[in-house]
Homo-oligomer: A and B are copies of this chain.
């Protein structure tokens, strides 16, 4: 933490900063410039302290972090990449993991048709929403527990592990029973009471990036999940909110390289929610793999025109098969398999 004093700050004010640093157990070094004093606050735990703690003191001009506010998710804490094993499927390893399926589970028939296609093309995990967080209260909210039952049945038939989203902290027991990966949606990335509950589990959790979260905030949310002991965290980039209006969200392709640089956690990408339009999903999916993502979360539906939710962004089965075939050589070009 670097504390820049105002010009002409008094010795008493400088002492105030030093004392506060000492109160947290930090070391301090003074830099006496020609115009300003700069106090360097040193220590491995400075990231845990908010900059405001110093900024609020009299005579302080500005405070800049040196340590990031997250710790457990950082590469400094865990230098080698983490791998998350989900019923035998390794996420973050050499193999690209494609999770695919409908946005919302609508019927067993729909799930089976999709599962056949997913498995046939080399998809490793089946996705399907049971509880849907919808922006309007008048929209279809998901089939709930019935959907979980269908996922369970199809899972046992096909042997595909299942990922589904949690939207209410009350559903944790259900989730543990039915889901192989519990998905935290973008709008819940900073639902801290939910994160705390999930932190107590041993279950894999996929943490979607909030729609206007910085990478730093996202990794700090991952710290919430890990702080209680759950180390099976998978990140998922799903597009961020920008001014551009030709797509629903702007997929932040840079976040892949940034996350790989600063964190050990595996990262997959959801091109379907980013684009909001099946037309753009193949281009984004290819880009994600080339950029170094560990996998993809893709919406597939046997008949998107009849889908109850997000049909526009769902690939139909032939388009999904075509994409999977196109992804394979790209994965190989970056030294991965599919």
Report the stretch among A55-63, A92-100, A117-125 that lies at the interface: A55-63
> Is the pair A56, B312 in contact by a Cβ cutoff of 8 Å?
yes
CA distance A246 to B209 in the complex (A): 15
Known: A31-B31, A290-B287, A292-B283. Contact between A305 and B56, CB under 8 A? Answer: yes
Give chain B nearest CB distance to A326 CB in angstroms. 8
CA distance A5 to B132 in the complex (A): 30
> Is the pair B274, A254 in contact by a Cβ cutoff of 8 Å?
yes
Q: Which residues of B contact A289 (CB under 8 A)?
A: 290
> Is the pair A223, B137 in contact by a Cβ cutoff of 8 Å?
yes
Q: Which of B195, B211, B253, B279 contacts A251 (CB 8 A)?
A: B253
> Is the pair A254, B258 in contact by a Cβ cutoff of 8 Å?
no
Which residues of A from 129 to 143 have beta carbons under 8 Å from B? 133-139
Question: A4 at interface (Cβ–Cβ under 8 A)?
Answer: yes
Copies in the complex: 4
Q: Mark A215-226, 1 if CB is under 8 A from B, else 0.
A: 111001101100
Give chain B nearest CB distance to A246 CB in angstroms. 5
Interface centre among A27, A133, A137 (most CB of B within 10 A): A137
Question: A190 at interface (Cβ–Cβ under 8 A)?
Answer: yes
Give chain B nearest CB distance to A68 CB in angstroms. 10
Question: A69 at interface (Cβ–Cβ under 8 A)?
Answer: yes
Report the stretch among A33-41, A105-113, A151-159 that lies at the interface: A33-41
Q: Which residues of B contact A43 (CB under 8 A)?
A: 33-34
Q: Which of B44, B57, B245, B305 contacts A305 (CB 8 A)?
A: B57
Q: Which residues of B contact A62 (CB under 8 A)?
A: 66
Q: Mark A271-304, 1 if CB is under 8 A from B, else 0.
A: 0001101011011101111111000000000001
Task: Report which A residues bind B (CB closer than 8 A).
Answer: 2, 4, 7, 27, 29, 31-36, 38, 40, 42-44, 48, 50, 52-53, 55-58, 62, 64, 66, 69-71, 76, 133-139, 167-170, 187-188, 190-193, 195-196, 199, 211-212, 214-217, 220-221, 223-224, 227, 240-247, 250-258, 260-262, 274-275, 277, 279-280, 282-284, 286-292, 304-305, 307, 310-313, 326, 329-330, 332-334
> Would you list 22 pairs from A and B whose C-beta atoms are within 8 A, ordered by A residue?
A29-B32, A31-B31, A33-B42, A48-B139, A56-B304, A57-B305, A69-B136, A135-B220, A169-B193, A212-B241, A214-B246, A240-B250, A242-B242, A244-B252, A247-B258, A250-B250, A254-B274, A256-B283, A261-B279, A283-B291, A330-B333, A333-B333
14 further A-B contacts with Cβ under 8 Å, apart from A64-B66, A240-B243, are A34-B43, A34-B44, A55-B277, A55-B312, A168-B193, A170-B193, A216-B245, A241-B241, A254-B275, A260-B283, A287-B288, A290-B330, A326-B334, A332-B333
